[in-house]
Amino acid sequence: MNQATASTTEVLIIGAGPSGLALAIELGSRAISCIVVERNARVGVAPRAKTTNVRTREHLRRWGIADKLAEASPLGLDYPSDVMFVTRLGGYPLARFENAFNCAPHRHSLYSEHAQWIPQYTLEKILKEHAQTLPSVQFRFLTELESFEQDASVVRAITRHVDSGVTEVISSQYIVGADGARSMVRGAIGAKMEGSYGLSRNYNIVFRAPGLAAAHPHGKAIMYWQINADTPSLIGPMDVDDTWFFMPTGVPQDFKVTDAEAAALIRKATGIDLPYEIKSTDEWVASRLIADKYQDGRAILVGDACHLHPPFGGYGMNMGVADGVDLGWKLAAVLRGWGGPALIDSYQAERRPVHQRVMDEAVANHAVLGKQLTQDGSEDDGPLGVTLRAQIGAAIREVKGREFNTLGVVLGSHYHGSAIVASEDSPPPPAQVAHATPSAYPGSLAPHAWLVDGSSLYDGFGPGYTLLATGGWNAADLLQARRDADATGVPLTVYQPEADGATLPELYQSRLALIRPDQHVAWRGDIWPHDGKALLRTVCGW
């Protein structure tokens, strides 16, 4: 038996997917020591998600790596992020949605970073490279979690290197399961996934096809939905070297695909006869599942370990990143002593309703796929085909638009009513899907603005809490806020920016706003409270 080694860290992270990497970066940026355990030899082993949304790229901007992801774009930032519906790639057009997911690289008043169409494995590579520059972050690749136990003060985990068999005993103050749909940490804490399993069975096939982009008549797009009776599917460019993805939807239970069969299926679905070189096939089942609990003592779940839903709408990977951000700053605050016990309790209380809402959206999008949209005769060359295609196109525009225009969901995730958010008497703003209306109602994402120097308002927010002075404030209030922060040990940045064309007091409906480390509003008002220390204790979980 191999000799066990021993290590100590503050946080042990199981899994180096997007949620685990985001958590490691959030912790490492705050000098919190963490060890990331990953069973594979590297990150990015599965070519799945391709949409890095506005909020995820805003987090990358905070970390200083948004430009690196932009530079890594395989198609180029100016490639149109349009979604086309066609009968087949070599067939007739049905409908087009322009600038899906807000990927156009233009300055927008509502956000500081556009979204990006890029393979998940490329995003993970950028995240890992950045995490490895942080001195307090360590990685253990080709390593699995075997077991762990915990008491009131420490977690003791045993890990094993999959090749050498060498074990390591790692002591930490917290263990986080970012270990995906088959989470071992979830099983160890007795959490159960509840909901609907097996909404559909699908394949994600990655292939190489030189000449395919020029062989169809529909122009550039990031995704083509093929709406036909025999092979409803999605197809689109994914990476350099003529690399594409192909996803047949709702495949039969007995469907098994070899490389030759996959190539034949792509040829049939597209109606384009080219050599198709299959690079990978990845079977997956669409489900709507959520854990009944996210935490047991010092063990906590993030990402796919606690929520799973269909990928339609591009939410899943991005929700995992947001989980890592939310839990990361809260763990750091507790470990450094300025965050109270209610701060970590707020992780599930705040994130679970967001997960539920996004899951509802994803399942609604999944309910209408190619099979539900096709009609017999839609590929006819004559008048019948023209009429049916017009009808199908109209139906697509009516029922599928919300899947590709999601800014209200992406920017509208909120924590209204949270125990660590100051309450207001007025009702919160209504939920939106396609459109986002800025609101500084406590719990909402801080409204964005561009400043006179060309920077984003967000660029001036500090790593701890930020007191945003929007205008008309009293200097004595800012001084007292600093004193209260010093007295309570809360890291506070006082920020007095000048917006470009936007009036911050109108945007925030207040002269002052207290912004959390994750850029959500914790409190707003025209004067700093008489007992500002009590406010700071509340929003910091005391």
Alpha carbon separation from 433 to 52, 110, 290, 413 (Å, rounded): 18, 14, 22, 10
CB 201 within 8 A of CB 250: yes
Dist CA 96 CA 82 (whole Å): 7
At 249, the pLDDT band (50, 70, 90 cuts) reads confident
> Which tokens go with 271?
């109606």
Q: What is the average pLDDT across 254-280?
A: 91
CB 212 within 8 A of CB 272: yes
Dist CA 365 CA 133 (whole Å): 39
Look at residue 2 in the predicted model and tell me its pLDDT. 62
Look at residue 501 in the predicted model and tell me its pLDDT. 72
pLDDT tens digits for range 60-76: 999 999 999 999 999 99
Phi, psi of 307 (to 5 degrees): -155, 135
Packed helices 120-131 and 18-28: angle between N→C axes, nearest 10 degrees: 20
> Which tokens go with 70?
């932009």
Given the candidates 3.40.140.10, 3.40.47.10, 3.50.50.60, 3.40.50.2000, the CATH classification of the domain at 5-73+114-193+289-364 is 3.50.50.60
Range 417-539: architecture per CATH: 3-Layer(aba) Sandwich (3.40)
Look at residue 49 in the predicted model and tell me its pLDDT. 85
Residue 523 carries which side chain, given as an amino acid letter?
W
DSSP state of 413: -
CA angle 243, 246, 250 (to 5 degrees): 165
Does 5 have pLDDT greater than 80? Answer: yes
Does 1 have pLDDT greater than 60? Answer: no
Name the one residue in this structure whose structure tokens are 């136990």: 149
> Which tokens go with 164?
């050498």
Q: What is the SS3 assignment for 32? A: coil
Q: What is the average pLDDT across 145-173?
A: 97
pLDDT tens digits for range 74-102: 999 999 999 999 999 999 999 999 999 99
Dist CA 79 CA 89 (whole Å): 18
CB 35 within 8 A of CB 193: no
Phi, psi of 523 (to 5 degrees): -165, 155
Q: What is the average pLDDT across 278-303?
A: 94
pLDDT tens digits for range 345-358: 999 999 999 999 99
Q: Where are the domains of the chain?
A: 5-73+114-193+289-364, 417-539
Quick one: three-class SS letters along 249-301?
Answer: CCCCCCCCCCHHHHHHHHHHHHCCCCCCEEEEEEEEEEEEEEECCCEECCEEE
In 3D space, the residue among 27, 13, 50, 121 whose CA is nearest the CA of residue 316 turns out to be: 50
CB 533 within 8 A of CB 484: yes
Strand partners of residue 169: 6, 158
Dist CA 384 CA 432 (whole Å): 38
Does 490 have pLDDT greater than 80? Answer: yes
Q: Give 321-388 as a DSSP string.
A: HHHHHHHHHHHHHHHTTSS-HHHHHHHHHHHHHHHHHHHHHHHHHHTS-HHHH--TTTT-SSHHHHHH
Q: What is the SS3 assignment for 231? A: coil
Dist CA 321 CA 18 (whole Å): 6
Q: Quick one: what percent of the chain has pLDDT higher than 90?
A: 87
Does 337 have pLDDT greater than 90? Answer: yes
DSSP state of 4: P
CB 411 within 8 A of CB 434: no
